[in-house]
Amino acid sequence: MDFNDQIRRYFATDDLASLSPAALDAGIEKMKVEFGLETDPGRRFALWALMFMLGEAPDLDVAFEDEAEREAARNFMDMIDKSG
């Protein structure tokens, strides 16, 4: 999943700063619905990561049943935190 493709898919723009609060909320809601329906682990992780970067990711114990996936998410969170 390409980051820019996902931004365009859920928000119909490349510039999140240009979105109204309502449009941002609508895109996030769509992501949450698709996350709940997605069965492919890689796609689920990509959706979770994007939601995390937007401050809207579900808690790890809710998002991932598998401990290895939760650990990957923790590593991602640490990497984002270190990058500033």
Place of tokens 């709940």: 36
- In angstroms, rounded to a whole number, what is the distance separating the alpha carbons of residues 84 and 12? 27
pLDDT digits (tens, 9 = 90+) for 21-49: 999 999 999 999 999 999 999 999 999 99
Q: What is the pLDDT of residues 58-74, one digit of tens each?
A: 999 999 999 999 999 99
> For the chain, what are the domain ranges?
3-83
pLDDT class for 3, splitting at 50, 70, 90?
A: confident
Closest residue by Cα to residue 58 from 43, 71, 47, 42: 47
| CA 73 to chain CA centroid, nearest Å | 11
pLDDT of residue 4: 86
- Which tokens is 83 given? 């990058």
Q: So what's the pLDDT on residue 1?
A: 61
